[in-house]
Each structure stands twice: as C-alpha cells, then as structure tokens.
A and B are shown apart, each in its own frame.
Chain A
C-alpha cells in the first residue's frame, strides 16, 4: 500500500504540472496565456473524474460490487419474507445446534486446561495389569523413587484425594467436608494462585507440622461468608486447630469437588508401605523431552523397581508398570466418544437444514427465472449472476447464524443444567471468540453450500429459453424437480442415519435400566459417616459406635432394616486389594513370594455390618450371611459373591475355604490371618450398571482388619417401608444423639444414585433423540415441499387425467407412489450409511448391536409413515384438481 499512497499523494501535483506543460506548449504555438490555459484544461478533460478514476484503480472494486450485491440481496429477501423466514429459521436450528455442541467440545476437549503451560503436564500412574488394575495410584516409596530417578520431568508433585473431615463450629452445626492433601509444590507448579492469602510454604509441608489449610472458593463463600481477611484465622477440623492460609480460585479442581486442602506432609524417613498406593502424581515434562522418551523412562524405572522389590511387585515379570497420561486427557478423555458422536449428529442436522434451504432456493429460483434472464440479457455475466445468488444465500446463512447464536445461548444454558454434576469443565462452556469464529465459519460455509448448487443450476440453464417461454418454464422446472428430488432423498437418508443412532441409544438405555444391580434399589436411604481418628482412634470405638447407631436406627418408625458398608455400590467409592488363598491348587493366578508362595488375586473388598445384606436385599446363595456373633472374639469369617466362588472354585464349594488379606499381628515370620468363607451372596454391580466389576468379598465390620482396624468411613443403608427420604431427619437425630459432632453427608436414596449413575448415557440419549426428531421434521418439510411443488407443476396433467376418467383415488395413488419412491430411496441409502457409520458409536452402546434389526425396522416404519404424512396434503390437492380449471390454467 506504500506505492499506492506515494502515487496518489503526488497525483494532484502531477496533474497540475501536466496542464502547466500543455499551457506552455500552447503559448509557444502562439496562443494567449488565457487561451492556452483553457485549451490545455479542455484537452485534459474533467480533472475530478480523472482523479476519481485513478483512485478507483487502487480501490477494491470487488468490495463495491459486494456491497451492491448485499444491498440487492437484502432487498430481494425483504420482498419474499416468508421464504426468508423459513430459510433463516431452518438454518438457525441447524447452526444453533452446532454452535451449542461445539461450544461444549471447545471448552471440554479443545481448550487447554487453565494451568500454566498445561500441555506439558502429565499424570503418572502405576498399573498391575495381570491383577486387573489398569491404573493405580503411586505409593510413597514409589514417589521418592520417581524423584530420585527423574530425568524427564522438570517437576514432580503429589496430592491425595478422598479425605474427609468434620468442620466443627461453635456457632453452627458441624459440616462434613471433603479434604485433599497436597505437597507444597503442586499449586505453584500448576500456576494456581490463591485469590486470598497464599499457597503452602515448604515449611508447612513438613511431617507433623501440617496444620494449615487452603479453602475452596465454594467453602469460603458458604461457611465463611467470603471473608476477605480470612488468612491466618483458625478453623477446627475433626476437633483439631488448623490455620487458614488462603482461598483457592473458583474454577480450581483436581478432579471431583474438594472443599479444602491441607499439606500432605510426606515423611521420607518413615514412608508408608510400598504397596499402599494412594498418591496422585503429576509431572511437568522438561522442555525438549518428548512424551515417548519420558514414557520409556517410566517403563525402565518400573522394571528396576520390579527387580529391586520382588516382594512388593510379585515375581510376575511385566506385571507392575508405570505410565503417564496428559492431564487433559485424564480429565476429559472419557467424554470424547460421546461428544464426537453428538458433534457428528448436529453436523448431519445442519446438512439436512442446508438441503432444505437449497430446496427452497430452487423453488424460488424457478420463479425468478425471468428476472435472472432479463438481468442476463442486460449484460450481467454468468459469474456475476452466480455471485448475486450466492450473496443472497450467504446473507441467509449469516442471518441464520446470528439467530442460531441466540438459540445456542439458550441451548448451552439448558445443557449446563442437564449434564451430570461430575462432568469436568462444564463451567468453562461459553460462547467465546473461538465459538463465535466457528459459528461465523459454519454460517458462511452453510451459505456457500446450499447456495452454490441452486445458483449454478439456475444460471447454467439456458436463460433465453426462460424468456421465450410463456413464463412457466416447464423444461427447466423438470430438471429442477429432479435435483430437488435428490436433495430430498439425501435429507431422508441423513434423517434415517440420525434416527438409527437415536434408536440404538434408546434401546441401549432401556437395556441399561433393565440391568439388575444385584440388590433392591427402591425404599433404600443411604448416607455417609466419617468418624474422626482423634475421637475414634482404632477399631473398638468405631465398631461400638456403628453397633449402637444401627440398633438405634432400627427403632426409627418406618425403618425395616439398617446396615452399613465401607463402600456403597454406585456411590463412586471403591477399594480393592489382594486376597490370598489357602487352597494352593487354584490355577493360573500369581503367587506371593514373601508369604509362603500363596496364590493371590486383586479383589473388591468391603467391610459390612451384620444387617447390610438384608437392608440391601442382596440375595444369599449358599451358607449364611454375616451376623451379630461375628465379632473379634469369634472365628474370623468372610462372605464372597457368586463371581468369586465360581472363579476360584468352579467345581467345588467355596464355603469353608480360607482366605486372607493380612497377617497375624506381630507374627514373625509373618503368618497369614485366615478368614473362613461362610456364605456366598449375589454379585453386585458396584461401579455402574453396565460394568460387571471385580469379584467381591465382605468382612464383618466388627472383626479386625489389618491389625485392630475397622473402617471409619461407612455408608448407612436403611431399608424403609415408605418414602425413604421421610426418615432422614429421624436418623440424623439418632446420629447426633450418639455424637453431636458427626454430620452425615452424601445423603441420597438409592434410586437417586442409580439415576446419577446413568445420567451421562441419559443425556447422550436425550440430545441425540432431540437432534433426530429435528432431522425428521426438517426432512418431512423437505418431502412436503417437493411434492407440493411437483403437484402444482402438474396441475395440468392431473386435470387431463381426471378429464380422461381417472378417479381421484388413482391420482392420489400416483402422488403417494412418487413420494413413496423418494422415501424408499432415502431409507435405503440411510440404512446403508447407518450400517457403516453406527459402528463409530459402538462405545456408547450397551447390549445392542450397531446393526440391531429391531431398531432398523422401527426406523424404517417411522420414516415411511412420516414421508407418507408429508405427501398427504399435496396428494389431496392433486386429487381435487378440477379438470376444467386445470385446463383453463394453461
């Protein structure tokens, strides 16, 4: 543009000089100065116009043409408001759906996490694949090993989740809070700066010196009224004094909802056991270290550990291993398949919307043939005409995009309310610049897509023909009808594809709900209790508390039975551990070298009170359930599930067999502490309805585990005769009667837990069904439009037929046949596409094959009915054609 400026700046003077020279020449030819000047001016021409034309050389002519086209386009659209409204609304639905889903994809999958340089952050995990543990936390000794043999990571830090504490207040009832613990370097490493106060100092993260706490934003607001001077104030957790050092930002989470954070205070001199895996480890890759190298280094380290500590990792070569996962993938990876399927679905909806609008454009183009022909005759080139028509469609696309944004804004709000509460990053979903750019791009592409075919089609036709005809343009319309039929066929095919997808999800969901979880979900109230270590230091007081409490709860009117378990099914809490067997004849399982080479296996372990099975109505299959007599003084016993019994003793009886999870306290050499299997109960779906889960073993809560321990975190399961939530307050009172500093939390009926556990598939289902219905409606409108148009075009023909004696039924049949032909073709193409594409959504399906014949059949029926319904009005109109009027119409 510098050249442009230089040239234009000098133009005035250039012109002046030019005229001056010409004047001079004229004077030399003998003219008077005045005459010479006039002649020169005349010869030069209109100075203003010359300047104007020169400026135009440098200006962008196309912009002016564009503005002209836009003005013209707006005028044309204004002239047919019905068409414009229909097109814009159709596009807005398609673009709005795309924008809404894309805004979720963008926030959840695409945008980097809100950590400093988040792409270089990874989670480091262990795994014991042969034991069926594909991802395991890191133990303290492993963490130190990682730090000592680290070459790939600039930083490695650890935190632990899942802690619980009672926040006691003098002025308010106690609340149960979730507590996470972290090494001092986690927050600075992630680049998280507290909104109030500061992070932990290294000094505060020392063993025995860790009574400091960082509050979550939510807890700060709900319990401390957002006090900006909270820093340094004391707080009582489980009866101990902590000092508040700061408040974390609102959005901060390391997975799940943490109310407060305390320093981890790892003691390198006295680490927990190598087999005690509880640390989340996060590392930042050194610049220049690629993930493949870092992964290889972890595998090498795991190999060294296996060789160095065969007692901890077993002799099974290649069993223990370490790996890393990018932090973002860890957080949102599980959402990817569903989101991509939904994104694909809305893209199909948009395609259908495009086809519909293209159809409208074609119908309108037939009506505009004369206008276009006249414009062509007056000298508008074909490209210019195409450009004009394209401008119109782009205008429609942009208007649809604008309205679509409004729809998307509502849609996103609705989505936020619908998604399961534990969906990560949903609070980050917003219509930000990336989403706006996406919508703009989609709108333009859409406009181009549905505009290109009709405009080219229109201009390609011999426009002179249109002029010379009486104005009905039958030959062109014939071709147009053909193109429009194909558009409708593809719309139907796309709708079939979506319907099949939605149908498969409906069938899956039905199957999912039909799954028996292995217990009775109705009339069951659950709530969690965490006894603080300070007031309940070991097993005996814990056992005493629960025995007393459950006896008391049973007397609450409406309660039928009451039990407690360390991990309730479908509650997102689980634990597993090695169970070893006295029976050494069990084939194909690993052995414990440091405990008599006993066979062992990773099993889901629970501690349960005596009435737990009755309360849950988990069926007894053999032997007996746990009972009141199973206490520390009695024979140590266990109950296993059917899967356990079948797996390890497929041909024998599990009852009477002895298994162990720990050793006799203070035995040297360590001796297994045997527990005798006394009963077999039904398997319970613990993790989710569609996950079978590991084998399960239950130990009596009143018998000691690992020394004299009894789990302090227990969930009550209370079977009621009426609405379970009606006894909540009574039970809470019974708890406070025993310990008034012990608030129950996670209070929910089992039906609510089941509903939460299927929230994600339910949401996928609702969205896909909504999109499929939208697609079907749009496709039906398309069929209607084409059939109506065809009938209008052929009024004459129908008139002649009727005049020649065809009954109205014949005419009706003919229209239905043609509509049926389109529907059949669309259905066939759609089903073929569905057979190919629904495989992509296999990971979202449960108990249904992607080519489920029932679904395909139902979709075919629905589509046929809808297509016929769409033909009905045009067919009726055709049948009623009055031959006299129709012939006169010619």
Chain B
C-alpha cells in the first residue's frame, strides 16, 4: 500500500459509508462495484473507499432492512447482486442526512473560530 495515497484520502467516519451507500441508491438499484465507483466519482475521488469495506456495510444495511438485494445481470452481462433502497431505507436516509448536516454545521462552527484564534 502506498502511503501517499493514504494521506490524500479522507478516512470515513463510522456510519458515513452507510449514509453514502443509501444516498447512492436513491437514483436506483446498483451492484456493489457500481456503488463503489459512484461514491468515488461523486466525491471527486476524495473519498476513496477501500472497496472491500463496502460489503460488511451492505450486509449491515440489509440486516437492518434499509436496502434489499436481488439477483441481476450487470451491463457487461455478468451475474451480480443489485441493491435497492427500501422505503424504510429512504426514511432512514432522510433522518441520517439531517443528522449529518447538523453535525457538519456544528463541527464547522467549532473549527472556524479556532482557526481565527490561531491567526490572531
């Protein structure tokens, strides 16, 4: 593993990956690889998930009933599991998004004055 790559990436907070998966699936069902790609692409490659960690997260979401899985065929004719957001998952996403916004806002508020203090 290259250390350079690691420094550039942002470590995902616990639970954030779940949120990202849910968000990704809002537009429609997708298989695991596509979800990984979408997360990377949509975050301008800042958030680089170690793709394997997607799977425990997917299983966790299925266990909670937030997403469901069905067999399907990928764009290049490969057998794959497609994950779909359930109604429960959709509600959860709304809740989590609000929570996240609040958290992000709060952290920003804490950090910004701290930076000013540093400068003074």
Contact = CB atoms under 8 A, between A and B. Distances in A.
A20 interface: yes
A11 B55 CA distance: 8
A56 B56 CA distance: 8
Main DSSP-derived SS at the B contact region: helix
Given A7-B69, A10-B81, A18-B33, A45 B60 contact: no
12 contacts: A3-B63, A10-B81, A15-B52, A15-B55, A17-B79, A18-B33, A21-B76, A44-B50, A45-B50, A45-B52, A49-B52, A54-B56
A14 B50 contact: no
Contact of B79 (A13, A42, A54, A57): A13
Contact of B53 (A7, A14, A53): A53
A15 B74 CA distance: 14
Contact of A21 (B52, B55, B60, B78): B78
Interface string B63-74: 100000100001
Contact of B55 (A4, A14, A20, A42): A14
A10 B59 CA distance: 11
A433 interface: no
Interface string B27-57: 0000111001100000000000011110110
B110 interface: no
Given A14-B81, A17-B80, A44 B63 contact: no
Identify the 9 closest CB pairs spanning chains A and B, nearest first: A45-B52, A50-B52, A53-B56, A45-B50, A21-B33, A57-B59, A54-B56, A44-B52, A44-B51
Contacts of A57: 56, 59-60, 63
Nearest to A45: B52
Contact of A54 (B33, B55, B80): B55
Interface in A47-62: 47, 49-51, 53-54, 56-58
B20 interface: no
Given A17-B80, A18-B33, A20-B78, A45 B56 contact: no
A14 B80 contact: yes
Nearest to B50: A45
Nearest to B59: A57
Interface in A1-50: 3-4, 7, 10-11, 13-15, 17-18, 20-22, 24-25, 42-47, 49-50
Contacts of B80: 14, 17, 21
Nearest to B69: A7
Interface size grouping (class) on chain A: 20 to 34
B62 interface: yes
A862 to B, nearest CB: 62
B76 A47 contact: no
Contacts of A22: 33, 51
B55 A50 contact: yes
Given A25-B37, A53-B53, 9 more contacts: A3-B63, A13-B79, A17-B74, A18-B32, A42-B1, A45-B51, A45-B52, A54-B59, A57-B56
Interface of A: 3-4, 7, 10-11, 13-15, 17-18, 20-22, 24-25, 42-47, 49-51, 53-54, 56-58
Nearest to B63: A57
Contacts of A14: 32, 55, 80-81
Contacts of A42: 1
B96 to A, nearest CB: 18
A54 to B, nearest CB: 5
A454 to B, nearest CB: 34
Contacts of B37: 25
B51 A17 contact: no
A21 B69 CA distance: 19
A649 B80 CA distance: 107
A21 B53 contact: no
A7 B33 contact: no
Nearest to B2: A42
**By CB atoms of chain B within 10 A, which of A10, A14, A22, A42 has the most?**
A14
A50 B53 contact: yes
Contacts of B81: 10, 14
Interface in B65-109: 69, 74, 76, 78-81
B61 to A, nearest CB: 9
Nearest to A21: B33
Nearest to A49: B52
Nearest to B60: A57
A11 B53 CA distance: 13
**By CB atoms of chain A within 10 A, which of B36, B60, B69, B81 has the most?**
B81
A21 B59 contact: no
Nearest to B74: A21
A44 B69 CA distance: 20
A45 B53 contact: yes
B10 to A, nearest CB: 16
A50 B53 CA distance: 6
A47 B52 contact: yes
B58 to A, nearest CB: 8
A49 B51 CA distance: 12
Nearest to A13: B79
